[in-house]
Amino acid sequence: MMDFRIIPIEGYDEKIGELVSMLDYSRAVLLDDIKSLTQEDLDFLPEGYSNTIGGLLMHIASIDFVHQVISFENRDLNDQELLEWGAALELGEQARDKYKNQPLSYYIEKLCTTRAQALARLKTMKDSWLSVEKKWDNGVAHNHYWLWYHVMEDEINHRGQIRILKRLLENRV
């Protein structure tokens, strides 16, 4: 059953637990939205659209992964990680070519694996870690709280795109 409260999750510091509560809710809604999609649905690309549902799901998983590297390891992706996740991060033609002919279970496994890794690492952090400030190469400040807010924000944004594609799926001939 869905819980419509933002509350600390046991095993995490208070603020991190509240963040995890929001991440959990966003992911539960996404998984519910995609639960009945077929491989054909995941590969559907209507005219005028640049991403499939499968590509968007991989993008969501990639954002989770990238933000783990940035926030927990204090680095950018290495060459091997870019090879694995680059198409999903960039989307477009590269992602359309790479992410097709896969069953829903493939995408769910990627989403669940990256999220499980994030949650395990968040469990080891203290609330003060959320406020640690850093700067991007261009000098713009950010903190860990913002990074994980962005993971959630990006997922919610792409969930909206997935819902539009699902509506288009209903009207395809």
Q: Can you give the residue ranges of every domain in the chain?
A: 14-170
Q: What is the pLDDT of residue 5?
A: 87
Q: What angle do CA 9, 134, 68 make, to 5 degrees?
A: 45
Is the CB of residue 62 less than 8 Å from the CB of residue 81? no
Confirm if 64 and 147 have CB atoms less than 8 A apart. no
User: Which of the listed CATH numbers 3.40.50.1480, 1.10.10.10, 1.20.120.450, 3.40.50.1010 matches domain 14-170?
Assistant: 1.20.120.450
pTM, to two decimals: 0.94
Residue 4 gets which letter from DSSP? -
Amino acid identity at 128: S
**Residue type at 166?**
K
Torsion sign, CA atoms 30, 35, 39, 45 = negative
pLDDT given at position 115: 98
Q: Give the pLDDT band of residue 29 (cuts 50, 70, 90).
A: very high
